[in-house]
Chain A
Amino acid sequence: MVTRRSFISLASFVFAAALSLPAQAAPLPEVTVFAAASTTDAINEIGALFEKSGQGKIVPSYASSSTLARQIENGAPAQLFISADEKWANYLDEKKLLSPGTRSVLLGNRLALIAPKDSRVALAIEPGFPLAARLGDGRLSVGDPDHVPVGLYTKEALEKLGVWKDVEGKLARGDSVRAALAYVGRGECPLGIVYTTDAAVDPNVRIVTVFPENTHTPITYPVALIKGQETDAARNFLAFLKSDAAKQVFERYGFATK
């Protein structure tokens, strides 16, 4: 059965396609995507596929989900929001800024302890593991645990493992997961905690070990359209994110797809 909404979007798509046929240089409709920093590479690639499919062109803005939520709250012209945790999606939901019925879980991820690629450090994650001792006088590079999602997960996991108090004063706080990744990649910090997917895109770091899933809330990435910004192109991109083509890209970068 064809729902009214999908009929409308199909019809408008056909209409838009018909309009764009004669004039080949007709610009593709743009979709402004506010996405968690950890999705940078995957969303860039999926955006290129989306553009190639002729449905639209994405204009991405990547930052910590908390920063993005904050910007959307203040009226940033986002059409689609991908958050690295439920907290900041809930925050916008409570402020009635998400388009009702468009929110769903897009991805899953894991937390990894990383080191510069030439580091020989070995550590197993277990309660009371000697994280502070391995840092020596260096710092642990993390997302700011006050608001950056990867930092919130990190704090939760390290508290559960009973080592948070030891390292709390030895943190280098990045304002997004990619900032945390960069400090380890450049060798400025001997250890860091990011998502496994971030560790995979930086050839200058290696994964020491992956955090057991029972040490923190499951890492899920909700996606939703922003209220009042539900253009056809935005809806199309939301659907495209859940297509097999997009799933393949996400999985190649190491995300779990739902």
Chain B
Amino acid sequence: MIDSLALTPFEVEALTLSLWVSGWAVLASLPPGIACAWLLARCRFPGKSLVDGLIHLPLVLPPVVVGYALLVTFGRRGVVGAWLYDTFGFTFAFNWKGAALASAVIAFPLLVRAVRLSLDSIDKGLEDAARTLGAGPVRVFFTITLPLVTPGIITGVILAFARSLSEFGATITFVSNIPGETRTLPIALYTLTQVPGGDAGAIRLCIISVVVAFIALIASEILARRVSRRIEG
């Protein structure tokens, strides 16, 4: 069934697109993700549990719901989508940016969760000590808090990246199945499973997915270990 180990152009396209889309999804959600985690871990404000719930919603909602909501909101005719297009000529509809948006929304809770857990576990006394020594809150955040939660951030980034790579339902609902734009690995795989005679190709893509996921997990393990060693040592 597997004739050659070399990747076909179809596979290369799906794989690079997946990495590109997931990379952007994680990169773009990193600053708001850390901000949300900090907000939830360090602040008390009215409606906090509502915000907490909203952030975690994509984790439990069927991805199709998220995709449909994105289509209605950010599609060419969507409330926000139409405005974005008329004002900036920018659109998420049927392009890789839409795929990245869908992945980012789906993976966001994982990122926030990991960072927040990390924030909860660090010794708040260190932050307080820095404040009593005269450092402002911004300086404390960048010189004390951020370095201490780096392992959490790395875990969050890897988890979110892996979840983005596997994103299917929201993506296909929101931005369809366009080669080179939105046909990521899982969607290419789905397409092959729909085509009679597509078995060999589908199995190859399965193997590629497993390999990529495995590499991501091992990389996160190594990175997290190295960082925690540096913090302790």
A contact set with B: CB distance below 8 Å: 64, 66-67, 69-70, 73, 88, 91, 138-139, 144, 146-147, 171-175, 179, 183, 186-189
Contact = CB atoms under 8 A, between A and B. Distances in A.
A70 B195 CA distance: 7
Given A67-B194, A70-B193, A88-B196, A173 B76 contact: no
Contacts of B71: 186, 188
A187 B76 contact: yes
Interface in B167-190: 172, 176-179
Contacts of B30: none
A186 B94 contact: no
B93 interface: yes
B76 A172 contact: no
A156 to B, nearest CB: 17
30 contacts: A66-B194, A66-B195, A67-B194, A69-B196, A70-B194, A70-B195, A70-B196, A70-B198, A91-B196, A91-B197, A139-B94, A144-B191, A146-B191, A147-B191, A147-B195, A147-B196, A171-B178, A172-B94, A173-B177, A174-B176, A174-B177, A175-B172, A175-B191, A179-B176, A183-B176, A186-B75, A188-B71, A188-B75, A188-B93, A188-B94
Nearest to A95: B196
Interface residues of B, number: 18
B196 A73 contact: yes
B193 to A, nearest CB: 7
Interface of B: 71, 75-77, 93-94, 172, 176-179, 191, 193-198
B194 A188 contact: no
A172 B176 contact: yes
B168 to A, nearest CB: 12
Contacts of B193: 70
A138 B177 contact: no
Contacts of A69: 196
Contact of A188 (B76, B177, B178, B195): B76
